[in-house]
C-alpha cells in the first residue's frame, strides 16, 4: 500500500471510532478528519472544501428549507386534519398514520415528517388514554421507509445519486428509487401496521410520557371569526366536535365587545365575532386552522399578519409593569409590537374577557409579535419567557406552498430544470410570497449535517483517487469471487445496514458508495444494483436509537429502552433484506 492509502485507511478508522464513541459531535469529527487529511497531504488543498459546494450538500439544505415552508404554511395540516382520528382502533390508527408518514417523507425530509406527525400521535394516545409506545416507533420507522421512494426523501439517496453522476456521468432521477423503494416501503409498513407494533412494550400505564409532554399550561384565548371561517352561520354548540378533536374547549362568544352569557351556545356565529377558547398553544393554532379563525382582530393593537410572527409564553414577574393592569387599559403591549392572545392562570378558564382581565403575578401570557423584537419587548415589560418563541402557522398559505412544491417536483421529474434549481426556485417563491421569512431559511438548515457532508465528501473522493477504495474492493472481490452475484449484493446491503445502525446515515452513504461501485466493477456486475443496495442500507437503520435521527427523537416520548429497538428493528431489517435483494435484481438486473 502507498503512503496515501495507509493514511486514508487510518483516517477512516479514526472517523468511525470517533462517530461510534459519540463524545464529540459528528460534524466536528468529520471536519477534523478533513483538516487532518489536508495537513498530512492525502486530501488536496484545492479540493478540501469542494464538498460544501457539492450538489448533494446543496440539495439536502434546500430540502430542509422547503420542508420548513410546508410546515409553516400548514400544508401538512390539510392532510392530517382529515386523516387522523383518536376514535379509531389502535391497529387502524397505526396503519393510517404510518401510511401517511411514509407518503409525506417521500417528498419532504423524513425527520420533519416525523416532527409534524409525532404530536398528532401523542394527542391521539392522550385522548385514548393509552401509552404512545405501541404507535410511536411504527410511525418513526414508516417515515424512514417512505424516504426510500424518491431522490429527495432521504440524504443517502441524494448522496448516492451525486456520486453516480461524478463516477459514471449521470445521476439518478427523482423516481428512479421508486420501483425498489416503494415495494420495500409497502411491505415494511404492512408488517409494522399488522404485526410489528405488537412486538413493542406498553409501558407507562395509560399516560406514559404523554402526561409530561402535555404538562404545558392551557390558555383562555379569543379567536376572531372572519368571513372565510367555517364557523360563520353555525351555532356555538355545533363547534364542540371540532373543538374536542383539537383538544380545545369553546367557553363563550363575544359580540360587539360584550361577552354573551348562557344563551351563547345557541347563538348563530357571525363575521367579526370572537370565540373564547381554552387550550394549549398548539391546540389553539390547530383549531384556528381547522375552522379558519384568526389569532387577532383588526384593531390597531395587533401587528400585521405575516410569516415573521412568533408566539411566546411569558410569565408576569413581580416587578412587571403589567401587574394589575389589563391589555385594554394599557398601551404598553401595542407600543412594544405585541398582542395578547391568551392568559393561563393556574389552569382555570377565565370568566372575564382576555383583554379586560387585570393581570396578576404568576399569570402566563401567550403573546404574538415580530421575531426580531419579541425578546427585547418581553424583557422591557418585565416578563419572564418560559421558552423560545413558536412560529405562527399560516394555514391560508397551505395550498399555495404545496402547489409550488409540487410544481418544482414535476419540473425536475420531467428534466425541465435540474433538481437543485427547482428547489431553489421554490425557496425563493416561499420568501417572496411571505410563506417563509428569510430568517427561517437559515434556521431550517441542519448545519451539522451540512458540515458532515461537506467535510466527508472530499475525504471520500481522496479514498477513491488514491486507489484505497479499489484495494478494499479487490479484497472483497477475492473473498466473494466464487459466490453468486446476489450474495455479494446481499453482503453490501447488510454491511451498509450494520454501519448505518451505529453511524450517521449520510456518513455511511459517503463511505459505502465508492466501495460498492468498485466491487461491482471488479465482479463485472451492474453498478446500479450495488448503489441501490447502499441507498437502501444506509437509510434502513432500525436496530438502535442512534442509527437515525427519527429513532432518537422518539426514545423519550415513547419511553423506549435500547433493547426495544431490536424487538421491532431486527425483524424489520430482515424483511428489508429479503424484499430488497430480489427486487433490486428484478428492476436493476445484475
CA distance 130 to 124: 9
Say how many domains are in the chain: 1
Name beta bridge partners: 157: none
Q: Minimal CA–CA distance to 220: which of 298, 160, 274?
A: 274
User: Is residue 361 in a domain?
Assistant: yes
Q: Is 41 helix (H, G, I), strand (E, B) or coil?
A: coil
User: Is residue 492 in a domain?
Assistant: no
Query: Per-residue confidence at 553, pLDDT binned at 50, 70, 90?
Result: low
Per residue in 329-360, pLDDT (tens digit) is: 666 666 666 777 778 775 555 656 666 778 87
> Which residues are CB-neighbours of 89 under 8 A, at least 6 positions away?
none
In this prediction, residue 216 carries a pLDDT of 44
CA distances from 432 to 113, 410, 412, 426 (A): 24, 21, 21, 10
> Which residues are CB-neighbours of 72 under 8 A, at least 6 positions away?
307, 391, 393, 394, 397, 401, 435, 436, 440
What angle separates helix 110-128 from helix 75-83, to the nearest 10 degrees? Answer: 40
Mean pLDDT calculated for residue range 108-120: 73
Q: Minimal CA–CA distance to 70: which of 115, 124, 135, 102?
A: 115
Query: Per-residue confidence at 205, pLDDT binned at 50, 70, 90?
Result: very low
Mean pLDDT calculated for residue range 264-272: 85
Give, as one character, the DSSP assignment of residue 542: -
Give, as one character, the DSSP assignment of residue 548: S
Most confident of 269-273, 452-456, 562-566: 269-273
CA distance 430 to 410: 17
CATH code of the domain in which 371 resides: 3.30.70
CA distance 113 to 101: 6
Mean pLDDT taken over the chain: 80
CA distance 281 to 311: 8
Q: Minimal CA–CA distance to 533: which of 181, 123, 286, 208?
A: 181
C-alpha cell at 207: 399516560
User: Is residue 72 in a domain?
Assistant: no
Q: How many residues does the chain have?
A: 590
CA distance 165 to 167: 6
User: Is residue 325 in a domain?
Assistant: yes
User: Is residue 295 in a domain?
Assistant: no
Query: Per-residue confidence at 80, pLDDT binned at 50, 70, 90?
Result: low
Of the ranges 314-318, 387-391, 501-505, which one carries the lowest mean pLDDT score? 387-391
User: Is residue 319 in a domain?
Assistant: yes
In this prediction, residue 472 carries a pLDDT of 73
CA distance 102 to 97: 9
In this prediction, residue 296 carries a pLDDT of 61
Per residue in 132-187, pLDDT (tens digit) is: 889 889 999 999 999 999 988 888 999 999 999 988 989 998 899 999 999 999 99
For the stretch 160-176, what's the b/e string if a residue is b when 16 or more beta carbons lie within 10 angstroms of its beta carbon?
Answer: bbbbbebbeeebbbbeb
Domain boundaries, position 318: 310-338+349-391
User: Is residue 470 in a domain?
Assistant: no
User: Is residue 320 in a domain?
Assistant: yes
Place of cell 463511505: 511
Query: Per-residue confidence at 538, pLDDT binned at 50, 70, 90?
Result: very high
Helical (H) or strand (E) element with 452: helix 447-465
Would the pLDDT of 115 be above 60? Answer: yes
Most confident of 66-75, 446-455, 577-586: 577-586
pTM: 0.63
Q: Is 390 helix (H, G, I), strand (E, B) or coil?
A: strand
Are 50 and 87 in contact by the 8 Å Cβ rule? The answer is no
Query: Per-residue confidence at 300, pLDDT binned at 50, 70, 90?
Result: very low
Query: Per-residue confidence at 267, pLDDT binned at 50, 70, 90?
Result: confident
In this prediction, residue 348 carries a pLDDT of 55
In this prediction, residue 335 carries a pLDDT of 65
Give percent of the chain with pLDDT exceeding 70: 83
3-state DSSP helix/strand/coil percent for the chain, to nearest 5? 60, 10, 30
Q: Is 40 helix (H, G, I), strand (E, B) or coil?
A: coil
What angle separates helix 447-465 from helix 3-21, to the nearest 10 degrees? Answer: 150
Would the pLDDT of 46 be above 60? Answer: yes
CA distance 334 to 71: 29
Amino acid at each position: 500500500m502507498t503512503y496515501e492509502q495507509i493514511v486514508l485507511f487510518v483516517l477512516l478508522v479514526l472517523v468511525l471510532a470517533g462517530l461510534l464513541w459519540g463524545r464529540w459531535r459528528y460534524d466536528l469529527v468529520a471536519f477534523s478528519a478533513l483538516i487532518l487529511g489536508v495537513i498530512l497531504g492525502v486530501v488536496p488543498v484545492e479540493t478540501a472544501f469542494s464538498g460544501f459546494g457539492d450538489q448533494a450538500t446543496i440539495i439536502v439544505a434546500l430540502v430542509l428549507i422547503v420542508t420548513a415552508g410546508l410546515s409553516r404554511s400548514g400544508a401538512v395540516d390539510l392532510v392530517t386534519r382529515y386523516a387522523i382520528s383518536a376514535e379509531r382502533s389502535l391497529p387502524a390508527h397505526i396503519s393510517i398514520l404510518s401510511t401517511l408518514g411514509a407518503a409525506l417523507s417521500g417528498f419532504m425530509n423524513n425527520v420533519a415528517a416525523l416532527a409534524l406527525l409525532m404530536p398528532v400521535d401523542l394527542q391521539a394516545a392522550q385522548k385514548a388514554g393509552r401509552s404512545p409506545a405501541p404507535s410511536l416507533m411504527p410511525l418513526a420507522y414508516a417515515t424512514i421507509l417512505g424516504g426510500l421512494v424518491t431522490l429527495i426523501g432521504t440524504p443517502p439517496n441524494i448522496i448516492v445519486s451525486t456520486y453516480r453522476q461524478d463516477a459514471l456521468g449521470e445521476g439518478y432521477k427523482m423516481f428512479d428509487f421508486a420501483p425498489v423503494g416503494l415495494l420495500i416501503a409497502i411491505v415494511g409498513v404492512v408488517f409494522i401496521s399488522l404485526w410489528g407494533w405488537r412486538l413493542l412494550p406498553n409501558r407507562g400505564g395509560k399516560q406514559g410520557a404523554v402526561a409530561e409532554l402535555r404538562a404545558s399550561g392551557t390558555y383562555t384565548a379569543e379567536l376572531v371569526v372572519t368571513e372565510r371561517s367555517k364557523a360563520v352561520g353555525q351555532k356555538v354548540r355545533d363547534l364542540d366536535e371540532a373543538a374536542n378533536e383539537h383538544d380545545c374547549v369553546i367557553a363563550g362568544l363575544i359580540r360587539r365587545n360584550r361577552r354573551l352569557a348562557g344563551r351563547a351556545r345557541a347563538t348563530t356565529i357571525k363575521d367579526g365575532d370572537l370565540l373564547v377558547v381554552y387550550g394549549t398553544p398548539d391546540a389553539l393554532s390547530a383549531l384556528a386552522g381547522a375552522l379558519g379563525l384568526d389569532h387577532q382582530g383588526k384593531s390597531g393593537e395587533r401587528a400585521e399578519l405575516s410569516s415573521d410572527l412568533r408566539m411566546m409564553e411569558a410569565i408576569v414577574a413581580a416587578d412587571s409593569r403589567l401587574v394589575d393592569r389589563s391589555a385594554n387599559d394599557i398601551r404598553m403591549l401595542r407600543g412594544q409590537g405585541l398582542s395578547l392572545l391568551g392568559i393561563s392562570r393556574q389552569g382555570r378558564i377565565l370568566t372575564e374577557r382576555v383583554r379586560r382581565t387585570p393581570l396578576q403575578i404568576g399569570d402566563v401570557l401567550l403573546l404574538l409579535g415580530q421575531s426580531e423584537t419579541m425578546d427585547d419587548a418581553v424583557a422591557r415589560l418585565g416578563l419572564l419567557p418560559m421558552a423560545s418563541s413558536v412560529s405562527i402557522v399560516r394555514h391560508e398559505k397551505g395550498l399555495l406552498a404545496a402547489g409550488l412544491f409540487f410544481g418544482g417536483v414535476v419540473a425536475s421529474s420531467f428534466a425541465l430544470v435540474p433538481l437543485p434549481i427547482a428547489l431553489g426556485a421554490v425557496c425563493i417563491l416561499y420568501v417572496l410570497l411571505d410563506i417563509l421569512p428569510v430568517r427561517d431559511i437559515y434556521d431550517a438548515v441542519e448545519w451539522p449535517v451540512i458540515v458532515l457532508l461537506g467535510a466527508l465528501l472530499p475525504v471520500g473522493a481522496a479514498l477513491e483517487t488514491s486507489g484505497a477504495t479499489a484495494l478494499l474492493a479487490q479484497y472483497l472481490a477475492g473473498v466473494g469471487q466464487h459466490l453468486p452475484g446476489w450474495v455479494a449484493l446481499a453482503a453490501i446491503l447488510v454491511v451498509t445496514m450494520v454501519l448505518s445502525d451505529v453511524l450517521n446515515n449520510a456518513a455511511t452513504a459517503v463511505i459505502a458508495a465508492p466501495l460498492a461501485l468498485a466491487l461491482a466493477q471488479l465482479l463485472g456486475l451492474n453498478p446500479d444494483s450495488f448503489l441501490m443496495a447502499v441507498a437502501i442500507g444506509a437509510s434502513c437503520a432500525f436496530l438502535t436509537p442512534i442509527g437515525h435521527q427519527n429513532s432518537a427523537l422518539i426514545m423519550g416520548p415513547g419511553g423506549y429502552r435500547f433493547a426495544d429497538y431490536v424487538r421491532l428493528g431486527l425483524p424489520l431489517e430482515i424483511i428489508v433484506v429479503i424484499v430488497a435483494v430480489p427486487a433490486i435484481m428484478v428492476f436493476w438486473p445484475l
